[in-house]
């Protein structure tokens, strides 16, 4: 499981996907999230702007990423 570090209290889901290198652009992140391809803490998330906090786990395309600060 990859770990990404954030400086602030939270990061938006679309930004986290880009930071982790799971998608190449915000447009790609938007599409993947809207199509139900992304899970946050085991639940399908359909909001690209969902706030992600330290300890949250994002799953996409068979990869898991944990957010840390």
What pLDDT does residue 64 have? 97
pLDDT, mean of residues 44-63: 96
**What are the CA-CA distances from residue 16 to residues 27, 42, 62, 63 (Å)?**
13, 16, 16, 13
Question: What average pLDDT does range 2-8 have in this prediction?
Answer: 94
User: What's residue 46's pLDDT?
Assistant: 97
Task: Output the pLDDT for position 36.
Answer: 97
| Domains of the chain: residue spans and CATH | 2-68 (3.10.290.10)
pLDDT value, residue 55: 97
Each residue of 14-52: pLDDT tens digit?
999 999 999 999 999 999 999 999 999 999 999 999 999
């Amino acid at each position: 499981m990859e770990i990404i570090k954030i400086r602030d209290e939270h990061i938006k889901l679309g930004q986290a996907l880009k930071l982790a290198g799971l998608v190449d652009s915000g447009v790609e992140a938007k599409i993947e999230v809207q199509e139900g391809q992304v899970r946050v803490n085991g639940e399908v998330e359909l909001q690209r702007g969902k706030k992600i906090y330290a300890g949250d786990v994002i799953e996409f395309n068979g990869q898991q990423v944990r957010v840390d600060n």
